[in-house]
Structure 1
């Protein structure tokens, strides 16, 4: 629970990427080079939101625990207790999965 020690500011969202598939459904081990970049993640912390020109806080559009789709590039890597997390702006997140 290292991310509980880290609070994103403004409209930033801290996510934990899903792990890449290392074995196919047929049981074949995949080398690192052929593993695709994982674009899905779970939101682990969110900032309070951004402030508009009138001084009102615009809340972040995702909540902790939601599954989101990330852009292929971007984000800032954050290491907390030897685990990798990524920090994105709320507007950079492409969408969220609805169950």
Structure 2
């Protein structure tokens, strides 16, 4: 199955949860925080402005991004977990 986000929505594959601390201790699954980082898998066409023109999206497929902790909706596609966010829920693109 393939998802094509509509409007200003973005499909993100969350990064794996941290299982160890920086000192090497394992974190229990109940104490692991939701990731706020992920890879953009699909992007909608963008939202319409007041004149009915499409506004280009700031993110592109393959971008690594930081997003809001409580934003978006979790979706499962072919057994994999994804997050469907509005473009406004994405705070930054990670550049190396």
Q: Could you state the TM-score of these two structures normalised by the residue count of structure 2? A: 0.91
- 2:3 corresponds to: 6
Aligned length: 96
Give matches, 1:1-99, under 5 Å: 2=1, 5-99=2-96
**1:18-72, Cα deviation, whole Å (9 max, x unpaired):** 0012133554322012222210011000001111111110011100110111111
Q: Which runs of 4+ in 1 moved over 3 A?
A: 24-27
After alignment, is 63-72 or 23-32 more displaced? 23-32
Higher helix share: 1
**1:51-99, Cα deviation, whole Å (9 max, x unpaired):** 1111110011100110111111121111100111011111111111112
Q: Could you state the TM-score of these two structures normalised by the residue count of structure 1? A: 0.88
- Mapped to 2, the partners of 1:22 and 1:39 lie a distance apart of 15
RMSD after superposition: 1.4
SS in 2 for 1:91: helix
Structure 2: give runs of 5+ residues left out of the alignment.
none
